[in-house]
Amino acid sequence: MRHPLVDQLRFARSEFRRGLEGLTDEEARRRFGPMNCLSWNVAHMAWQEQRYWLRLAQGETPFPEVNKLFAYGAPAQTPPLADALEWWHAITRAADPWLDEAITPAKLVEEARPAVTYGNLLLRTTYHYWYHTGENEAIRQMLGHGDRPVYVGDIDGEAPYRPHPPG
C-alpha cells in the first residue's frame, strides 16, 4: 500500500493540473510583471520532481534541459504549455513507481543528501505544488478567467486522511 504522504503529493499534483484546465498556450505563456508564467510553473515543478525522485533517488536525469532552464533561480522562460506538460507528465510517470515502492516510514527518515531526508523532500514538493497552484490561480484572475476551480477540491474522496503505516 502506498504511503499516505505519497497520496497527498498525488492529490496536490492533481489539483495543480486541474488549475490548468482550459488555458490556451498564449495565456499559459503570458507574464505579469516579475511573476513567472503558468507554463514556467509547470516546467519548474517537473524540474523539482526530476531533481528529487529521479536524480537524487535514482541517479537519472532524463531531461537535462529542464534542469538547466527551470531550476530555482534560472532566468525567466516562457515555454510552450505543451512542452511543459510533456516534461511534467513524463517525469511524474517515471517518478511514481519509485515513490510507490520506495517511500516507507524508514525511507522517509533516510537522508537523500546531507541533513535532508526523503520525508523533507516529499513535504517540500507537496507544499511547493500548493504554492504554485495559488500563484497560478492569481495569474488566471489577472487573465480575466472568472470560472476557476475551487480549492481544495475533493480531498475527502481522492486523498482522505489515513494513518501512517507503522514502522
Task: Write the pLDDT tens digit of every residue in 50-100.
Answer: 999 999 999 999 999 999 999 999 999 999 999 999 999 999 999 999 999
The pTM for the full model equals 0.94
Q: What is the mean pLDDT of residues 26-42?
A: 96
Average pLDDT over residues 12-33: 96
3-state helix vs strand vs coil in the chain, percent to 5:
60, 5, 35
| Per-residue pLDDT at 167 | 61
- Which amino acid is present at 81? L
Q: Are 38 and 139 in contact (CB under 8 A)?
A: yes
Domain count, the chain: 1
The yes-or-no verdict on residue 124 having pLDDT over 80 is yes
Could you tell me the three cell numbers for 55? 536524480
Instruction: Decide if 43 contacts 79 (C-beta within 8 A).
Output: yes
Q: Is residue 91 part of a domain?
A: yes
Mean pLDDT of all residues in 105-123: 96
Which domain, by its residues, includes 79? 4-158
Residue 41: inside a domain, yes or no?
yes
Q: How far apart are CA 164 and CA 148, in angstroms?
A: 33
**Is 104 among the domain residues?**
yes
Amino acid at 142: M
Whether 21 is in a domain gets the answer yes
Tell me what pLDDT residue 111 has: 96
Phi, psi of 145 (to 5 degrees): -75, 115
167: in domain: no
> Which of residues 167 and 110 earns the better pLDDT score?
110
pLDDT of residue 69: 97
Say if CB 15 and CB 153 are below 8 A apart: yes
What percent of the chain stands above pLDDT 70?
A: 98
Instruction: With respect to residue 123, please indicate whether it lies within any of the assigned structural domains.
Output: yes
Peptide bond into 116 cis (omega under 30): no
Given a cut of 90, whether residue 158 has pLDDT beyond it is no
Q: Is residue 165 part of a domain?
A: no
CATH for 129: 1.20.120.450
Is 126 contained in some domain? Answer: yes
Q: Report the candidate in 141, 124, 156 with the shortest Cα–Cα distance to residue 5.
A: 124
**Could you tell me how far CA 124 lies from the centroid of its own chain?**
10
